[in-house]
């Protein structure tokens, strides 16, 4: 059962990432402004003073990072559930994370009002690395 759950979560995360890339600039901004408003409420409640513009950028970049961290984590768990050793699965997970980031940014080049950024590829891949690390530290694989 774990095999199917982690396989499904890995595929769902990929679909979520690419689905967000297909949004035009207005749709992307609308979604990130909604999340930013929630984060603003929490930061205000905690007493953090962050300007709305800066918080919006941090929220957008944080969302990129988090998406890829989840993808990396789910891939580690999926490979482990199928009994694939860490040493064997790691290159595939790294490649999947990098290819997803490159394809994601290329999709955005063709989405109205969006752009693809090399810096975002690096940020996305950094999220993948964190997800892999957390997956391995939580005891996945051998």
| Chain segment 14-60, per-residue pLDDT in tens | 999 999 899 887 888 787 888 888 888 888 888 887 787 888 888 88
pLDDT at 41: 86
10 assigned to some structural domain: yes
Residue 107 CA to residue 99 CA, distance in Å, equals: 12
Mean pLDDT computed over every residue of the chain: 91
132 assigned to some structural domain: yes
Instruction: Report the b/e string of 103-134 with b at 16+ CB within 10 A.
Output: bbbebbeebeebebeeebbebbbbbbebbbee
142 assigned to some structural domain: no
Q: Which two tokens stand for residue 77?
A: 């768990």
Domain of residue 33: give its range. 2-137
Nearest partner of 60 among 33, 85, 27, judged by Cα = 33
33 assigned to some structural domain: yes
Tally of domains within the chain: 1
- Burial class from Cβ neighbours inside 10 Å (0-12, 13-18, 19+) for residue 138 reads exposed
pLDDT at 43: 84
pLDDT of 111 over the 80 cut: yes
Predicted TM-score (pTM) of the model is: 0.88
Q: Which residues contact 78 (CB under 8 A, 6 or more apart)?
A: 3, 6, 7, 9, 10
64 assigned to some structural domain: yes
Residue 42 CA to residue 56 CA, distance in Å, equals: 14
pLDDT at 1: 87
pLDDT of 141 over the 70 cut: no
pLDDT of 142 over the 80 cut: no
What angle (nearest 5°) sits at the alpha carbon of residue 34, between those of residues 68 and 121?
A: 25
96 assigned to some structural domain: yes
Instruction: Report the b/e string of 65-100 with b at 16+ CB within 10 A.
Output: bebbbbbbbbbbbbbbbeebebeebbeebbebbeeb
Q: How far is CA 61 from CA 107, 108, 127, 142, in A?
A: 17, 15, 10, 32
124 assigned to some structural domain: yes
pLDDT of 85 over the 90 cut: yes
55 assigned to some structural domain: yes
């Amino acid at each position: 059962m774990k095999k199917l759950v982690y396989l499904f979560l890995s595929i769902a995360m990929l679909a979520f990432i690419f689905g967000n890339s297909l949004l035009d600039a207005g749709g992307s901004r609308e979604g990130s402004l909604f999340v930013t408003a929630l984060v603003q409420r929490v930061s205000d409640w905690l007493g953090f003073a962050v300007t709305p513009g800066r918080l919006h950028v941090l929220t957008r970049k944080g969302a990129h990072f988090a998406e890829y961290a989840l993808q990396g984590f789910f891939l580690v768990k999926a490979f482990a559930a199928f009994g694939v050793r860490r040493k064997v699965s790691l290159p595939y997970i790294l490649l999947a994370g990098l290819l997803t980031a490159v394809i994601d940014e290329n999709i955005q080049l063709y989405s109205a009002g969006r752009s693809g950024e090399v810096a975002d590829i690096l940020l996305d891949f950094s999220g993948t690395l964190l997800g892999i690390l957390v997956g391995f530290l939580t005891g996945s694989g051998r």
